[in-house]
């Protein structure tokens, strides 16, 4: 009897979640990985609608340097990204920022972030008072959390927003000037709507206990979200790769292709159809389904064993990881799981724009301290509501980008509920952003060069109750058999969280499909 061929598994989406899923499917975490087509190793296709891999990670040439045009680092204290770099043989390429610390635009000027923050939430009152971010009266109001005993909750309560919890214990000024620009900034969101269970579960746990919320948060660290200062430990807060953070998906895709994974760009999956569903003999309700993918586009895949999808020949697979953004995944699931598709489609997204600037070094009259600054949504600059949300001094943060004649500065605009940047063309946006930056940093003249990068509908919003909806989606999809979902819309927007999401989805599909189940 001839052996059963290995299963064929498709991954829809070539962002960090999708590429990480493919890496897990071929056993990339094992020593040396596996060559596709080996005994029990699935045949893996990655299908990407765009013309490149990497999703929301992208770099470009600007002012004679390669710069990241989106995330320029990943959290180091969450292990998934660092572990993946080590598995890819990139450990010697890991770099850390050349400086630390950041500022907040508060009460009309830049002020250093206070020490002892758990993400953006103060864990000690005195550094908060000394920072000047709050008025003396506002700081005294925040001190009530320390001096007025808080009784433990008699029973567990459901999810709440980050802003609600912090605001009732420390006051609205702490929420607006620290918590929203820091925690909300991770999602380009609004902490008054942001799920604490999804974004910072330790906050809910701390709020239910007696005593001071500040002191409770001072004894724990939010999973995957480090404090603003690295002074409390030897592990750096952030890491990147030499050259750019965006080189990570490129190098991962290169190694996947070397091991036989077929990566198809410009190959949007237009529909998925169930071929069959049979009982797996596992726990009650477990099953295994086979799927036919209807693929459009030009099918610009790499050289493969087997025919790549070309829009005329559907791809039949034994397992499927859906790692596309929530709206695209919802469209594919509507015929099979209309309720789960509706939950995915209801996840809202924020759009942002990134303006990268080359500014003459001598034109900046204010000192550049730390890695940059954040701007709260309630702030005004030159008497108008601020458009910019944050700024990174790229040459200070990453010394390899520094040049004697200029400063590379990256400025962000846009967040959930603020789409003013979308009404401006690139020249108007650059002028508005540089005008506010010049007011904050006392810059004379004009930039030497500029580059606008727009990220439309790129930041999923984790509203209160988000994890309940995600659990319902994941359960419904798993019941189909041989399928799992992954990506930033589910359980974390950072690079490590997306890697974890993709690898966990791959594990679920492998468990459902099983070795030697190909047709």
Please give the distance of CA 315 from its chain centroid, rounded to a whole number: 30
Rounded Cα gap, residues 484 and 506, in angstroms: 7
Residue 65 lies in a domain: no
Residues 482 and 336 in one domain: yes
DSSP string, 188-209: TS-TTTBBHHHH-HHHHHHHTS
94 near 428, Cβ under 8 Å? no
| CATH code for position 441 | 3.90.660.20
Rounded Cα gap, residues 408 and 396, in angstroms: 9
Residues 96 and 135 in one domain: no
Residue 276 lies in a domain: yes
Phi, psi of 342 (to 5 degrees): -65, -40
Residues 390 and 447 in one domain: yes
Residue 296 lies in a domain: yes
Per-residue pLDDT of the chain (519 residues; tens, 9 = 90+): 456 789 999 999 999 999 999 999 999 876 455 555 455 789 999 999 999 999 999 999 999 999 999 999 999 989 999 999 999 999 999 999 999 999 999 999 999 999 999 989 999 999 999 999 999 999 999 999 999 878 877 556 789 999 999 999 999 999 999 999 999 999 999 999 999 999 999 999 999 989 999 999 998 765 444 433 333 445 688 999 999 999 999 999 999 999 999 999 999 999 999 986 443 433 333 345 789 999 997 655 443 333 445 545 689 999 999 999 999 999 999 999 999 999 999 999 999 999 999 999 999 999 999 999 999 999 999 999 999 999 999 999 999 999 999 999 999 999 999 999 999 999 999 999 999 999 999 999 999 999 999 999 999 999 999 999 999 999 999 999 899 999 999 999 999 999 999 999 999 999 998 765 555
Residues 339 and 254 in one domain: yes
How many C-beta neighbours within 10 Å does residue 96 have?
16
Selection from 84, 161, 221 nearest residue 495 by Cα:
84
Rounded Cα gap, residues 379 and 265, in angstroms: 42
Range of the domain at 422: 73-79+87-100+349-460
Pairing of strands 319-322, 483-485: parallel
Residues 355 and 454 in one domain: yes
Q: What residues contact residue 118 under an 8 Å CB cut-off, 6+ apart?
A: 202, 217, 218, 220, 221, 222, 227
Rounded Cα gap, residues 122 and 273, in angstroms: 51
What total of structural domains would you count in the chain? 3
Residues 369 and 455 in one domain: yes
Residues 354 and 432 in one domain: yes
Residue 224 lies in a domain: no
Residues 140 and 197 in one domain: yes
Q: Examine the fold and report which residue of 198, 218, 238 is the final residue of a domain before the chain moves on.
A: 218
Residue 337 lies in a domain: yes
* Phi and psi based region of residue 362 (left: phi greater than 0; alpha: psi -120 to 50; beta: remaining): alpha
Residues 339 and 467 in one domain: yes
Residue 60 lies in a domain: no
Residues 250 and 337 in one domain: yes
């Amino acid at each position: 009897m001839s052996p059963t061929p290995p299963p064929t598994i498709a991954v829809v989406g070539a962002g960090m979640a999708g590429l990480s899923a493919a890496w897990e499917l071929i056993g990339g975490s094992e020593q040396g990985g596996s060559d596709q087509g080996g005994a029990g190793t699935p045949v893996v296709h990655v299908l990407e609608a765009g013309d490149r891999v990497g999703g929301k990670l992208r770099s470009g040439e600007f002012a004679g340097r390669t710069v990241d045009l989106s995330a320029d680092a990943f959290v180091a204290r969450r292990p998934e990204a660092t572990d993946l770099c080590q598995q890819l043989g990139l450990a010697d390429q890991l770099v850390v920022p050349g400086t630390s610390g950041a500022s907040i635009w508060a009460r009309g000027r830049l002020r250093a972030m206070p020490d002892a923050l758990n993400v953006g939430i103060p864990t000690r009152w005195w550094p908060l008072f000394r920072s000047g971010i709050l008025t003396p009266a506002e700081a005294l109001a925040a001190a009530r959390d320390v001096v007025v005993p808080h009784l433990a909750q008699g029973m567990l309560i459901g999810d709440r927003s980050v802003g609600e919890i912090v605001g009732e214990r420390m006051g609205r000024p702490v929420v607006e000037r620290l918590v929203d620009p820091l925690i909300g900034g991770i999602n380009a969101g609004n902490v008054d709507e942001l799920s604490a269970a999804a974004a910072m579960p330790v906050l809910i746990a701390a709020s239910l206990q007696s005593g001071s919320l500040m002191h409770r948060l001072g004894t724990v660290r939010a999973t995957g979200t480090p404090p603003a200062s690295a002074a409390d430990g030897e592990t750096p807060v952030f890491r990147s790769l030499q050259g750019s953070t965006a080189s990570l998906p490129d190098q991962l895709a290169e190694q996947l292709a070397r091991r036989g994974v077929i990566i198809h760009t410009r190959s949007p999956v237009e529909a998925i159809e169930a071929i069959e569903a049979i009982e797996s003999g596992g726990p009650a309700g477990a099953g295994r389904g086979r799927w036919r993918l209807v693929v459009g586009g030009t099918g610009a895949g790499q050289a493969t064993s087997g025919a790549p999808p070309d829009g005329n020949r559907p791809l039949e697979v034994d397992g499927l990881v859906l790692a596309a953004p929530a709206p695209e995944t919802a469209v594919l699931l509507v015929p099979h799981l209309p309720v789960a598709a509706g939950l995915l489609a209801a996840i809202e997204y924020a759009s942002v724009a990134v303006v990268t600037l080359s500014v003459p070094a001598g034109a900046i009259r204010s000192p550049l301290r730390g890695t940059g600054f954040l701007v709260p949504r309630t702030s005004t600059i030159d008497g108008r509501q601020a458009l910019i949300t944050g700024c990174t001094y790229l040459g200070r943060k990453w010394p390899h980008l520094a040049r004697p004649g200029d400063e590379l500065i990256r400025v962000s605009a846009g967040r959930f509920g603020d789409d003013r940047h979308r009404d401006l063309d690139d020249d108007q946006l650059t002028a508005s952003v540089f005008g506010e930056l010049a007011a904050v940093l006392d810059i004379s003249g004009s930039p030497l060069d500029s580059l606008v990068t727009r990220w439309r509908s790129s930041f999923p919003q984790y509203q209160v109750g988000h994890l309940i909806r995600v659990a319902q989606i994941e359960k419904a999809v798993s019941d189909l058999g041989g399928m799992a979902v992954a990506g930033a819309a589910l359980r974390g927007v950072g690079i490590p969280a997306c890697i974890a999401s993709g690898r966990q989805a791959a594990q679920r599909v492998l468990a459902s499909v099983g070795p030697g189940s190909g047709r």
